Structure 1
Amino acid sequence: MSTPEPEPEDRRRSIGARRSPETEAAILMAAEAIVTEAGIAGFSIEAVAKRARAGKPTIYKWWPNKTALLLDVYHRQKPANVHSDTGSVEEDLLVFLTGIFAHWGDSGAGQIFRYVIAEAQRDATAAAALAEYARERRKQTGTIFARGVERGELADDIDVGLAADMVAGFIWQRLLTERLERDPARLRQVARQMVRGLSAPGT
């Protein structure tokens, strides 16, 4: 019986089912760097494993596919100041829209998220990963409207989850059609219309 070849000394090792923080950080940093340098077309698990000096089985144990890994890279890139409590629903929404469109347009995050959405249309595992991510973001965006209800700015019978879905539908559609809105006046109009609706004053 042949003796298995030992792993290279510089290969990062996992620690069983538990993630090694050092190895996880190295994998995510490698994945982010590859997307930045080569784009989605140049991204692969093989390339990430080589750059991070990690085994492919380790990566697949923690991320079932490329989409799941890219979602974690996307989450890692997302700025912390997208969601703010300004004391006004319209202003909170304006801050969110301005921040997310700038983030998608000024970094590789936009192309990552477009890829994830596209993969979710053909792969069940990718769809599940996106759905889980969307559920968490729905809760976060919903707090904008929940605060408005608590302050009395919004009607107390609104569905904050539905309001969050309407925002997500708008920004995802703009991302997929490459129409990231950057004009401050236009973004303010969008925020105002989302909050105040389409009814004429006094109706």
Structure 2
Amino acid sequence: MAIQRKAPDAARRSPATRRAILTAALELVGEMGYSRVSIEAIAARAGAGKQTIYRWWPSKGAVLFDALLMLSEGEGEGEQLAELPDTGDLEADLKTVLRATVDELNDPRYSEPMRALAVEILLDPSLAEDYTERLDKPIKELKRRRLRKAQQAGQLAPEVDLDVAVDMLWGPLRSRWLHREGPLTAEFADMVVEAALNGLRTHHGAASPASQEEGTIGARGR
């Protein structure tokens, strides 16, 4: 019996069409703000059919997420995330990475679309799951991997929880950016690294607060 094969969807197989849609989404969010952008407007700007967008993406938030991924990857698809730098100087490496994060968060091409995506993730469980699996977990693993190497080299205390360390280092930048709590600068990034590492490093020979207190009491007794 002959098998009926569905004709290939030419638009679906066109990287140029996909790129045009994602580029249109970024442009419109930058011009109008996310809340005023519609799938119809994206389709019109991209010169694509509205139904094409609905076939490829389940929501406007999903379009925006892929658009941001395209932007961060330089329009490449399937690229591996780059490892964090490892020169042997943990503090210098982290300052390099956090300064780059500051530059990205201050870049208008990223900032407003990323704010919109942060809100959509709170409202859309499916998008939140996609974001976690495709971006958040892989990036966190890269951060943990770099910190794990530092821990194995004795640059971080062995008892440090690496998930907590990641939050200590990157959390303040995201909080200041997301809530517009103040200027996000390279100097602020450096201060975050220095403060975090002050608590995370191995302090050889440093007395614990309890032992310091006992020593003080002993001295007073003498």
Q: TM-score range by the shorter chain?
A: 0.7 to 0.9
2:64 is equivalent to residue 70 of structure 1:
yes
Change (3 A) 1:26 1:199: closer
Gaps of 5+ in 1: 1-11
Alpha-carbon shift at residue 182 of structure 1 (Å): 0.5
Identify the residue that residue 41 of structure 2 maps to in structure 1: 47
Superposition pairs for residues 175-186 of structure 1, below 5 Å? 175-178=177-180, 179-184=182-187, 186=188
**Root mean square deviation, CA, Å:** 2.9
Aligned-residue offset at 1:45: 1.7
Q: 1:122 corresponds to which residue?
A: 123
Q: Which position in structure 2 is the counterpart of 1:92?
A: 93
Change (3 A) 1:160 1:46: same
Tell me the distance in 2 between the aligned counterparts of 1:163 and 1:187: 15
How big is each residue's C-alpha offset from its partner over 1:128-185, in whole Å with a ceiling of 9 and x where there is no partner? Answer: 233233212211222331231243322344333332233343232112211342042x
Amino acid at match of 1:123: D
The two structures have a TM-score, normalised by structure 1, of 0.76
Rg comparison, structure with higher value:
2
Q: Which stretch shifts more, 75-84 or 87-96?
A: 75-84
- Distance 1:85-1:48 versus aligned 2 partners, 3 A rule: farther
Q: What SS class does the counterpart of residue 197 from structure 1 fall into?
A: helix
- Of 168, 171, 180, 1:169 maps to 171
Which residue identity does 2:69 align to in structure 1? Answer: H
Report the counterpart of residue 220 of structure 2 in structure 1: none
Q: TM-score, normalized by length of structure 2?
A: 0.71
Most deviating of 188-197 and 165-174: 165-174
Over residues 84-114 of structure 1, what are the superposed CA-to-partner deviations in whole Å (9 max), with x where a residue is unaligned?
A: 3333222222112211122111323122222
Moved more, 20-29 or 158-167: 158-167
- CA contact under 8 A between 1:93 and 1:144: conserved in structure 2? no
**Comparing 41-50 and 76-85, the one that deviates more:** 76-85
Cα pair distance change 1:172/1:157, threshold 3 Å: same
Quick one: distance in 2 between partners of 1:70 and 1:172? Answer: 19
Paired residue type of 2:174? W
* Native 8 Å contact 1:90 1:192 kept in 2: yes
Tell me which amino acid in the other structure corresponds to 1:47.
A
Number of residue equivalences: 188
Q: Does 1:14 align with 2:11?
A: yes
What residue in structure 1 maps to residue 111 of structure 2? 110
Cα distance change, pair 166–58 in 1 and its aligned pair in 2 (3 A): farther
1:181 partner amino acid:
L
* Structure 2 residue ranges without an equivalent (≥5): 1-8, 75-81, 208-222
Question: 2:190 is matched by which residue type in structure 1?
Answer: R
State whether structure 2 residue 21 is matched by structure 1 residue 27: yes
Question: 1:58–1:167: structure 2 CA closer, same or farther, 3 Å change rule?
Answer: farther
Deviations 1:25-52 (A, max 9, x none): 1212222222233332443221111111
Give 1:59 deviation, angstroms: 1.8
Cα deviation for residue 120 of structure 1 reads: 2.1
For the residues of structure 1 that align with 2:72 and 2:53, how far apart are their CA atoms? 22
